[in-house]
Structure 1
Amino acid sequence: MSSHAIEISLLGRTYSIACPQGQEEALQHVAQNLEQQLSSLKNRTNNLSREEIAIMAALNIGYELLEEQQKNQDYIKQMDDKIGLLQSTLENALVERSTKDD
């Protein structure tokens, strides 16, 4: 898959970022979300450097990702439990039916 550079702006600086073809809109969306986080942090903490703001944003985004991964794992476990219950119910129904047929 070929890629080309697109430009994004973060905290007033423009960056040229390599992007796989067809993924431009996704990268622009991510960049807009990141810009919002960076701007919010900058407005709340005027004394932080760009590097410190970027680190804080990375930590916030990492935490949000961790929370979503945990939610996903919890959902997978719930679905596994429900599938197990359904399998057990079906097996019991089949056993019951086969004993009635005998």
Structure 2
Amino acid sequence: MSNSAVEITLLGRTYSIACPKGQEDALRIVATGVEQQLTSLKNRTNSLSREEIAIMAALNIGHELFQEKQKNKDYMKQMDDRISLLQSTLENALVERSTK
């Protein structure tokens, strides 16, 4: 699969990013979210350098990702438990039916 160049702007600087074909819109959406994080941090903390703002944004985004992964893990555990209960209920019903 070939790449295409996508231009994104973060804190007033434009970057040309190589992106797999078909993923351009996803990259733009992510870049918009990153720009929002960066701008929000910049507006709240005027004394931070670009690098410090980028680090803080990366930590915030990483924390959000961690929370989403944890939610997904918890959800998967709940679904596994429900599937196990359903399997057990079905097995018990089949055993009960076969003994009649």
TM category, shorter = over 0.9
Q: Structure 1 residue 71 and structure 2 residue 71: aligned?
A: yes
> Which whole-Å CA distance do the structure 2 matches of 1:5 and 1:99 have between them?
67
1:34 aligned partner: 34
Query: What is the letter of the counterpart of residue 7 of structure 2?
Result: E
Match of 2:80 in 1: 80
Please, which runs of 5 or more residues in structure 2 have no aligned partner? none
Secondary structure of the corresponding residue to residue 47 of structure 2: coil
Matched, 1:18 2:7: no
Cα-to-partner distance string for 1:14-39 (whole Å, 9 max, x where unaligned): 00100111111110000000000000
Q: Distance in 2 between matches of 1:55 and 1:28?
A: 20
Could you list the per-position Cα deviations for residues 26-75 of structure 1 after superposition, in whole angstroms to 9, with x for gaps in the alignment? 10000000000000000000000000000000000000000000000000
- Give the SS at the match of 1:17: strand
Say which one has the larger Rg: 1
3-state SS of 2:99 partner: helix
Gaps of at least 5 residues in structure 1 are: none
Give the aligned length: 100
The residue identity in structure 2 corresponding to 1:6 is V
The 3-state SS of whatever aligns with 1:34 is helix
Q: How far did 1:97 drift?
A: 0.6
Match of 2:58 in 1: 58
**Distance in 2 separating the partners of 1:23 and 1:97:** 53
CA RMSD in angstroms, aligned pairs only: 0.5
Secondary structure, counterpart of 2:55 in structure 1? helix
Matches of 1:51 and 1:75 in 2, distance apart? 36
